Structure 1
Amino acid sequence: MCRFIAYTGEITLMEDLLFNAENSLVRQSKQAKMRVNPLNGDGFGVGWYPTHSDELPGTFVSIEPAWSNRNLSQIATKIPTKHFFAHVRDASVGMPVSQSNCHPFQYGRYLWMHNGRLDQFSCFRRLLLSELSDQAFDFIKGNTDSECAFALFLDEIAFDQQASHSKLVQGMRNTIEKISDYRRQVGASTNAFINFALTNGQESVFTRYSTLADVRPASLFYHQEGENIIVSSEPVTENSDYWTKVERNTLLSVCANKVVAEALF
């Protein structure tokens, strides 16, 4: 499984969370603290929203480890932004390491990340793909479960670039319900770890979810200070009191400078 960070708030440079923090995302790419396997070296990606009048995000992905990519350090120290997603990847067994499989995935205004895995994906992949619209099917460029889940979500919101926050939340719920239904249809009995992250540059939706009640979901935390909000797979500072743990099977909304946690189902 992977690690990710999302930020929204005052104009900042990405370097503070990617490189400078005590438990920065680059540090987590080498030595994650809340994973059995601490290494996340199968590529990385960042997606940021510009400060000028452009609602579409820029993205930069690479199959190199985050700690060894010179361009990432250059971008992180030079580009100001009020909102960004960043992800370091630990590829699931059998999934190729390629740029098309690096997060965040983008469609128009939307960015999408996933920390986890849809276990036994090969068993229900064809079923999921067969029920996508042509537009969603053609959108997929890689072969990860994460990108297929994003395509399913885009179908749920009818590819609406101006979807309301409530529509995004409902689309996220519907996406997870459909994935769970596909798994039931093929008899998938192992756990799926579903920490999804979705943003349109102004509002964001996150989940912390596992399909089996006796399995702990992948970790997720948030911190808010004024209008600055960080959502992260792990606390990025040593002070644990600084961070709020997202409880299992929770949907977390970031909207209008507020963080709201509610039961996913």
Structure 2
Amino acid sequence: MCRLLGAVTLPSVPLSEALREEFAPFTDQSEVHSDGWGIAWYDGPDARTPQLRRELAVARECGVYETAAREAVGPLVMVHLRKSSPTLPPDPASIHPFQAGDLMFCHNGYFARPDALRAAVLARGGRTPQGMTDSELFLSLITVHHRTHPLAEAVQRAAAEIGALTREHADRPPAALNCLITSPDELVAYCEYDPAQRLPHHTDDNFVLRYRADADRVLVISSGLPQDDYSVLGQGEALVVDRETLVVRVVPPLEAGAAPTPLAELADEAAGDLLAA
């Protein structure tokens, strides 16, 4: 269980300034979510060069975190506070966000990752995971689908593929696939979770993602701080925020069957190879 925060701002200002009232209470959650933190943003003349700071430390007690919050200037910024799974002890390779080219990704949730599932994901040829987290497997599939689909749909299709794989290899759906991902042009948030797999220490809204659009910023934040004036992102929906305009749109869930299973895709590829031969 982790905490997520994404911000798109106009004008581009440091994260600690952009969040104003939200930054301190969000950071305070690291008392519980204490297994590392990460901040990602874009730098350079056109704010398109990925920058990433990650530490295996408690954010509220870490001077590097405070420095990174001042260095992280918009328009696109992402923060992750990690609480590791009991089966994955804290280690530097497991700290979010993760980078794939100019994409930055962080995840709040978990899903079964037996060896057969991991092998099936790696066989798809996406980004190679650097550690053993389920989160990097999710990102790997997103990079596969992003070759042919817009980023929001790539996330939805990757989530559908993970759902098919977990049902095939673990007999249950993913527990949660909530995530944030940015390109230099946009922020995408995705919400999907299974309430039946909520753990005893989870709250009722543990995996709810909420967003708020102001005149000068759009925020997407997981639960844990006051959010009475936020909208809730629905199950299977993807939120897209444009960095240039702050225009927000919600992409509805994929229609049933819209995302082929890995086996179906492989069969289609094999058929194409035969036709080309």
TM-score range, shorter chain: 0.7 to 0.9
Aligned equivalents of 1:58, 1:147: Cα separation in 2: 18
Conserved 8 A contact 2:41-2:78: yes
Q: For residues 202 and 187 of structure 1, do their structure 2 counterparts lie closer, same or farther at Cα, with a shift above 3 Å needed?
A: same
Which structure shows the bigger proportion of residues in strand conformation?
1
In the alignment, what sits opposite 1:155?
144
Aligned equivalents of 2:68, 2:118: Cα separation in 1: 38
Q: Does 2:240 align with 1:253? A: yes
In the alignment, what sits opposite 1:34?
none
In the alignment, what sits opposite 2:64?
71
Q: For residues 174 and 247 of structure 1, do their structure 2 counterparts lie closer, same or farther at Cα, with a shift above 3 Å needed?
A: closer
Deviation at 1:259, TM superposition (A): 1.6
How many pairs align?
Answer: 245
- The Cα RMSD (Å) is 2.6
Aligned equivalents of 1:230, 1:156: Cα separation in 2: 26
SS at match of 1:223: strand
Conserved 8 A contact 1:207-1:264: no
Q: Does 2:127 align with 1:126? A: no
Bigger-Rg structure (1/2): 2
Aligned equivalents of 2:79, 2:35: Cα separation in 1: 14
Q: For residues 124 and 25 of structure 1, do their structure 2 counterparts lie closer, same or farther at Cα, with a shift above 3 Å needed?
A: farther
Conserved 8 A contact 2:156-2:236: no
In the alignment, what sits opposite 1:33?
none
Q: Deviations over 1:102-127 (max 9, x none)?
A: 11101221101101111x22365334
Q: Does 2:83 align with 1:90? A: yes
Q: Deviations over 1:209-264 (max 9, x none)?
A: 1256897771111111114111111375x461x21122233221212422222432
Identity percentage of aligned residues: 20
Amino acid across the alignment from 2:210 = F
1:143-182 maps to which residues of 2 (within 5 A)? 143-158=132-147, 167-182=150-165
SS at match of 1:58: strand
Conserved 8 A contact 2:163-2:173: no
Conserved 8 A contact 2:177-2:192: yes
In the alignment, what sits opposite 1:232?
221
Aligned equivalents of 2:144, 2:240: Cα separation in 1: 20
Conserved 8 A contact 1:6-1:85: yes
Deviation at 1:91, TM superposition (A): 0.6
Aligned equivalents of 2:191, 2:235: Cα separation in 1: 6
In the alignment, what sits opposite 2:98?
105
Aligned equivalents of 2:38, 2:67: Cα separation in 1: 14
Deviation at 1:16, TM superposition (A): 4.0
Deviation at 1:96, TM superposition (A): 2.9
Aligned equivalents of 1:239, 1:127: Cα separation in 2: 40
Deviation at 1:79, TM superposition (A): 4.5
Q: Does 2:168 align with 1:185? A: yes
SS at match of 1:80: coil
Deviation at 1:6, TM superposition (A): 0.5
TM-score (norm 1): 0.82
Q: For residues 224 and 148 of structure 1, do their structure 2 counterparts lie closer, same or farther at Cα, with a shift above 3 Å needed?
A: same
In the alignment, what sits opposite 1:26?
27
Q: Deviations over 1:49-78 (max 9, x none)?
A: 125235121100011111111111122234
Aligned equivalents of 1:227, 1:18: Cα separation in 2: 11
Aligned equivalents of 2:62, 2:196: Cα separation in 1: 39
Q: Deviations over 1:117-141 (max 9, x none)?
A: 11x22365334334221x63xx311
TM-score (norm 2): 0.79
SS at match of 1:185: helix
Q: Deviations over 1:146-166 (max 9, x none)?
A: 0111011111223xxxx8xx6
Residue range with higher mean Cα deviation, 48-57 or 16-25 = 16-25
Conserved 8 A contact 2:53-2:68: no
Aligned equivalents of 1:211, 1:112: Cα separation in 2: 21
Runs of 4+ in 1 over 6 A off after TM superposition: 212-217
Amino acid across the alignment from 1:253 = V
